[in-house]
Structure 1
Amino acid sequence: MMTFTQPLYERIGGRPALLKLLRHFYADVRQHEAIAPIFAAKVEDWPAHLEKIADFWSGLIGGPALYRGGMPWKHVPLKLEERHFEAWLGLWARNCEAQLEPTEAAEMVAVAEKIGQRLRAIIANHSAPGLMP
């Protein structure tokens, strides 16, 4: 069994590598026909958004826990569908595989899949009639 002494955050190269990954990923997101309109409607300041998302990811992968906010709840009103999750995860996997070593890429994709599962569950539970104002 393989064990790692460094957190995933350090193994990918820390914040600089995380920001690079996010810049490339969101460049692809902004070009994707299914999910670009969702982000275009919500994100006005891309550099600030990337910093906030880097804060979020940092804490998830063993770096500094800098994110403050309710990430899942910000997604509930977006009317996300399975095709949006599939596009998001596909772009994430492609970018991770292009920029990271295979082991770290697989771990980053696994974290994203867990995020997707959690968001799907939260959205499903809060999309039922009478639960959302």
Structure 2
Amino acid sequence: LTLVDTPGAANDADAERQGAGAAIADVFAAVAGARVPITTVVVGEGGSGGALALAAPGNTWAAPDSYFSVIAPELAAAILKRPADRVRATADQLRVRPQDLVALGVVRGVTGPGATAPPPPG
């Protein structure tokens, strides 16, 4: 079971010198090559390659108030040179909320209080 709650790894030159990218790649490989079932629950922030690396292919779930993306909405807005009041609109465009992720097939469903499970496969 992997629980994801990370705003994202640093993406500067110092982080690269310290091996952040290589460490994330190692986690991707470990999860992909695991010989045991892995379940992932995004319990909060899931805004980085590291968060994606921990996601179990086909068995990732999201808590009702979580988000999951290759980049945090705040960072995406900053890269796009949008003001802070546009972060919510940027999140809408990124489609990072649990209901979006279910619709896109990125997560199996939303889990937690008040959440409903998806119908069984097939």
Q: TM-score, normalised by structure 1?
A: 0.31
The structure richer in strand per residue is 2
Q: Which has the higher helix share?
A: 1
Q: Which has the higher contact order (CA 8 A, sep 6+)?
A: 1
TM-score by length of 2: 0.32
